[in-house]
Copies of this chain bind each other. A is one copy, B any other.
Amino acid sequence: MNKILKVNTRTNDIRMISCSEEELYWGGRSFIAHHFLHNVNPLCDPFGRNNKLIIASGLLGDTPVTTAGRLSLGGKSPLTGGIKESNVGGAAGKRMARLGLKAVLLEDAPDNPQSRILFIKKDHAELIEAPEIKGKGSYETLKILRNRYGDHTGLLCIGPAGEMGLAGACVATTDRSGVQLRVAGRGGMGAVMGSKGIKAVVFDDGGAKASEPFDRKALAKASREVNRILREDPKTENRHNFGTPAVVSVCNALGILPTGNFRSGQFEQADAISGETIADLIDRRGGEARKGLPCVEGCVISCSNVFADPSGKAIVASLQYENIGLLGSNCGIGDVDAIAELNYICNDVGLDTIETGAAIGVAMEAGIINFGDAEGAKGILRQVGEGTPLGRIIGSGVVTTGRVLGVRGIPAVKGQAIPAYDPRALKGIGVTYAMSPMGADHTAGNALETAKSHDPLSREGQIEISFRLQIRAAFLDSAGVCLFIRPVFVKDPSLAARLLNARYGWDWSYRDVRNMAIECLSAEREFNRLAGVSDNHCDVPEFMRTEPLPPNNTVFDLPKEKLDKIWKVQLPEDVF
């Protein structure tokens, strides 16, 4: 996994190069961070010739470590104006890693819209004109690619939203069986991919063989320990049984479930959309409905599901918490079948559900449709695919939607929609939203896990919590493993270094791992500073500092001056 494929999307020149010595130590998110800081003009137009879309394997991408194989997509975001990394499970990551690819760089940009497939196999890569999939939805596109290139490929594609350059566009992929459609949602990476004239990427790892780890035995041993700790963690079983929707009830009880365009933190129909309800429906409906599925092959958590209608026909896979929070409660929609359908349409047109759910909530506040109007919401989402002005507005994300429709108090930080945890009653995540180089992104450091041990309404300690979580997230995103295996590294911080050392023959300590994560964050922050989106200028939305959130009736009240000190916080030595 020491090769980099450079694709000039303007000249069609494709070149395979070897990593530099330094690049060997970067993976996934940290590869993107350092590559951008060193090679990309921070003032570049996100849709221009100087931006890149990077697809990067995590450092553990070619190992059997559970959940490893998540793929990082990154670029300068059309939403935040800063660097963005968005990662995704599914089957493509492992295949890309098996091809020895640390990263694929989509560089430059064609003058005119194009619809091409980047096909990569062992010792060969090419750009293939594919007008026949132009404008097609993600589901159909992936099906066509699967039929054409076979089951043994890893696939990435964008939907019409990405082709149209809408800033809320995501990049889709599938699990090994093609059942699930999973997306790298945040930050508009689908639109950046569209600007490169790339509709899809195919990784065919036929004949390829993953690199031999430095110490296979040590890797296997550390990997077994990861699994053991995970299996012993009580959250694992809960996640396996209920998936991320388990969090609906938790967040509703805490009063942080976005409801009615972030005007309340509790939703009266929360029970109807809870993880328990969904698990029960899946059990009762049967047919194609399933739960406890892996997204990356071999995951010991396996928190994914297939949600089916009453006849047992699959609606969407996997139905997740963020989709429920943003497309459901935030839009006043308490019908889980409708939410699943909205989720399906978002996936198909190729839009991030968080950005889009928030945008629809704002459109509802503007009176375009009423809160709770699921049919209206579906209609708007279908308009995205049709390219109508309203569809394009929604597809451009929550800030554009709010600005164009004249709504004040837009739930976004750094131009990006706030996920399904209102920071007014979970203050640690507010610190992350405001200060993370990623903008409002729960995966950058989600304080929900601390809500039991640390009062989420208190101002105390939240900055330390966010800093620690951000460091941990930067490591996990750079290793290419799922955030859900974090309990392993909390329990045994040394395991992170042991895994990397076994894979690469390094001599790292826990301290080195943490430094790597901090350097990743620093590179991202420096890029953002040069791009003019320094965290000094970012904060939670003003209305969240002045309008109390029911039922706790609290505001986000950590002073900005205090937030700005986050990077100087002294953390304990031995805690991940």
**A residues at B contact (CB < 8 Å):** 42-45, 47-50, 78, 109, 164-167, 195, 388-390, 392-393, 396, 400, 403-406, 408-409, 530-534, 536-539, 541-543, 546, 560
- Contact indicator B165/A406 (Cβ below 8 Å): yes
Whether A542 and B48, one on each chain, are in contact in the complex, defined by CB atoms closer than 8 angstroms, is yes
Interface centre among A44, A537, A546, by most chain B C-beta atoms within 10 angstroms, is A537
- Docked CA distance A393–B560 (Å): 33
- Residues of chain B within 8 A (CB-CB) of A392 are 393, 404-406
For A541, list chain B residues within 8 Å (CB): 45
Cβ of A340 to closest chain B Cβ, rounded Å? 27
CB distance from A50 to the nearest CB of B (A): 7
Given contacts A389-B388, A537-B532, contact A404 B400 (CB under 8 A): yes
Which has the most chain B C-beta neighbours within 10 Å: A165, A534, A543? A165
CA distance A536 to B530 in the complex (A): 8
Cα of A403 to Cα of B168 in the assembled complex, Å: 11
Residues of B within 8 A of A405 (CB): 392
For A546, give the chain B residue with the smallest CB separation.
B49
Assess whether A45 is in contact with B542, with CB atoms less than 8 Å apart.
yes
Please state if A404 and B408 are interface contacts (CB–CB under 8 Å): no
Residues of chain B contacted by A44 (CB below 8 angstroms)? 542
**Chain B residues positioned under 8 Å from A43 (CB to CB):** 537, 539, 542, 560
Are A542 and B50 in contact, CB atoms less than 8 angstroms apart? yes
**B49, B164, B390, B409: the one within 8 Å of A406 (CB):** B164
Question: Does A167 lie within 8 Å of B403, measured CB to CB?
Answer: yes
Q: Contact check: which of B42, B530, B533, B546 meets A532 at CB < 8 Å?
A: B533
With contacts A392-B406, A404-B389 taken as known, whether A45 is within 8 angstroms of B543 at the C-beta atoms is yes
CA distance A109 to B49 in the complex (A): 42
Bound Cα distance from A530 to B538, whole angstroms: 10
What's the nearest-Cβ distance from chain B to residue A407, in Å? 8
| A166-B406 in contact (CB<8A) | yes
Contact B400 A48 (CB under 8 A): no
Given the known A-B contacts A45-B543, A389-B390, A532-B537, are A195 and B408 also in contact in the complex, defined by CB atoms under 8 Å? Answer: yes
Which residues of B lie under 8 Å from residue A166 when comparing CB positions?
404, 406
Residue of B nearest to A547 (CB): B111
Chain B residues near A49 (CB-CB < 8 A)? 542, 546
Chain B residues, Cβ within 8 Å of A47? 408
Q: Are B404 and A404 in contact, with the CB atoms below 8 A?
A: yes
Nearest B residue to A78 via CB reads B403
A404 to chain B, nearest CB (A): 5
Question: 29 A-B contacts, Cβ less than 8 Å apart?
Answer: A43-B537, A43-B539, A43-B542, A44-B542, A45-B408, A45-B409, A47-B408, A48-B542, A48-B543, A49-B546, A50-B542, A78-B403, A109-B408, A164-B406, A166-B404, A388-B389, A389-B390, A389-B393, A389-B404, A392-B393, A392-B405, A393-B393, A396-B400, A400-B404, A530-B537, A531-B537, A532-B533, A532-B534, A532-B537
**How far apart sit A78 and B539, CA to CA, in the bound complex (Å)?**
17
User: In whole angstroms, how far apart are the Cα atoms of A409 and B537 in the complex?
Assistant: 26
Instruction: Give chain B residues whose Cβ lies under 8 Å from the Cβ of A396.
Output: 400, 403-404
Residues of B within 8 A of A78 (CB): 403
Q: Whose C-beta in chain B lies nearest to the C-beta of A410?
A: B45
Measured in the bound complex, the distance between the Cα atoms of B165 and A536 in whole Å is 27
Distance in angstroms between the alpha carbons of A47 and B407 in the assembled complex: 9
Report the bound CA distance from A252 to B282 in whole Å.
68
Nearest residue, chain B, Cβ from A538: B532
In this complex, what residue of B is CB-closest to A383?
A: B389
Query: Which listed residue (B389, B532, B538) contacts A536, Cβ 8 A?
Result: B532
Can you list the 4 inter-chain pairs with the closest CB atoms, starting with the nearest? A532-B537, A165-B406, A389-B389, A389-B390
Distance, CA A404 to CA B531, complexed state (A): 22
A561 smallest CB distance to B (angstroms): 11
* A530 to B, closest residue via Cβ: B537
Q: Given the complex, which residues of B lie within 8 Å of A539, measured CB to CB?
A: 43
Which of A44, A390, A541 is the most central at the interface, judged by chain B CB atoms within 10 Å of its CB?
A390
Among residues of B, the one whose C-beta sits closest to the C-beta of A397 is: B403
A393: contacting residue among B45, B404, B409, CB under 8 A = B404
Contacts of A543 in B (CB 8 A): 45, 48
How many whole Å from A451's CB to the nearest CB in chain B? 28
Q: Which residues of B contact A388 (CB under 8 A)?
A: 389
Cα-based distance from A404 to B78 in the complex (angstroms): 11
Give bound CA distance, A502 to B486, whole Å.
73
